[in-house]
A and B are shown apart, each in its own frame.
Chain A
């Protein structure tokens, strides 16, 4: 699936997007932590730190590591405290 980074995750990752294969959100986060070390501070095994959140296809915000993903999904990773 396609992963998009916004805000601090984008700055830390140094890229705005990439392609990753994963069957669940937890797997995806584990892969990101391995592939992009600067993101490790925000990922505890298979979950995002509470100040960050994932979103599926611009619609649903998801946090459960067992959330299933399919190849066509776009997963957005962003700061949860969107206001200010």
Chain B
């Protein structure tokens, strides 16, 4: 067993309560590292690609990493990996904090959950003992109430990841939440809900040893020191909310279901405006020196404000009332809903209402009341919410009228807050993304915001840059370190290889990590191929092709150009 790992994963069948430790070879750990990479490898071994993701036998993986529990800043993270009930393709979502550390202290590098409990239950892992307890009293409870209730019942030293009502009701974009953070995208909450598991509570005492603790301490101190510098100033001082006005300035802020790239009332949702009218505190995940979480007051409590939630529940739905947008964001957190898919599906429905294809006249762009009502109906699957809980692609197929042309999704995953016509390297990243339209597995927007490309007139040269960001993301999500740290590295591959050497004792090099990243991206593709992927999926909805943005005639992306970018991407990948 290498340093930094336990060399085994814990497999639990919640139908029977049976559990076993399964050895992980050094080769597998070195080839897939942990997090997303290890999760995908375990899913491939389980044959998950051809299973119904909501079937009892479909596995759900919680994968830790060699860095978890180390003094390296931002390393307290875990990946949740499964086949997505929203896309039918690979899904890996990351979340942070004490659950990652406690999970690894249970003496394993991953937890694989299969089966279906007979009744709503909590899975309790106490060091190396596993039990399943009834959880009927938490039916319908919010993620936060479930977490605090279970800590009161089991002990404050347990760490809890849970689903809200949306996960219980199998909303296809339900989240798994822990400590106010969410494994948000792709519906892992519905996968857990389908197993009748409301929450996982764990605590442990087993530490993985490090190969060279002295060197690790030196690296950690250097990284922490740099994390206080200019490269992370945006996250520390303003949070991601500051993207809103920047994107609006560049005509890249998705508005009214991607009908525009600018929102006239954007200023009312800006962090400047929110800061003048509300008190704000800052928090961070466990083991983080950056602290990017900006919590704004809301009623008697507070709500964490992120750009993706502001855009999805604000400009995308045409809602400019900050109180409504913040309440909507908080409600999503309580119900356990992915804010991007929630906002995307509601905005799409609002446009369908305008066109007379959905008969819900109250569901109009700009109405904060409608937004909040729609969110509650989705969480409970009542009324129109039962359809919207399926995500925009399935809604489009249900209502017809070729509405799929403007359903804001790729492979079924709703598009995050980057207007593809104004940010065309990102458009390529969305089109080819293994889990669908995604800004976390491809950082291609960084290329658009650089002098490497002309973001509205792309050439094939952009493809290698898009691949670089995707490979880098695959490494960060497998090692795992926070992407908000990415700007502090002088040489990303050299420095991450150094980290891994000090933890594992492997003679790993920067070049080896470059190969590892490609292997992990290819493993995701292999999963998708087995799940039925076809080349036709690597595209964007018709709305984005051949029609310029109304307010920016230069922001036009032809189908021909996108097709040639995608073909070049496949060629460079060797696929």
Contact = CB atoms under 8 A, between A and B. Distances in A.
Q: Do A and B come from one complex?
A: yes
Interface string A1-42: 000101110010000000000000000000000000000011
A67 to B, nearest CB: 9
Nearest to A61: B451
A58 B307 contact: no
A75 interface: no
B449 A82 contact: yes
Contacts of A63: 451
Interface of A: 4, 6-8, 11, 41-42, 49-53, 55, 58-64, 76, 78-84
Contact of B484 (A58, A61, A76, A84): A84
B454 A60 contact: yes
A7 B449 contact: no
B443 A83 contact: yes
Given A80-B450, A83-B445, A8 B233 contact: yes
A25 B236 CA distance: 28
A61 B230 contact: no
28 contacts: A6-B242, A7-B243, A8-B237, A8-B242, A11-B237, A42-B230, A49-B230, A49-B231, A50-B487, A51-B234, A53-B450, A58-B250, A60-B454, A62-B451, A78-B246, A79-B242, A80-B446, A80-B450, A82-B446, A82-B449, A83-B240, A83-B243, A83-B418, A83-B439, A84-B243, A84-B306, A84-B307, A84-B308
B316 interface: no
A26 B450 CA distance: 17
Interface in B434-491: 439, 443, 445-446, 448-451, 454-455, 484, 486-487
Contact of B233 (A51, A60, A64): A51
Nearest to B554: A59
Q: 4 smallest A-B Cβ distances: which pairs?
A: A84-B240, A82-B449, A7-B242, A51-B231
A20 to B, nearest CB: 19
Interface residues of B, number: 34
A82 B238 contact: no
A11 B245 contact: no
Given A51-B233, A58-B250, A80 B242 contact: no
B247 interface: yes
A51 B443 CA distance: 15
Contacts of A62: 451
A9 B243 CA distance: 13
Contacts of A80: 446, 449-450, 487
Interface centre among B233, B243, B454 (most CB of A within 10 A): B233
Interface centre among A11, A58, A60 (most CB of B within 10 A): A11
A41 B237 contact: no
Given A6-B242, A59-B454, A82-B449, 18 more contacts: A7-B238, A8-B233, A8-B242, A51-B487, A53-B450, A58-B249, A58-B250, A60-B451, A62-B451, A78-B246, A79-B234, A79-B242, A81-B231, A81-B234, A83-B243, A83-B445, A84-B243, A84-B308
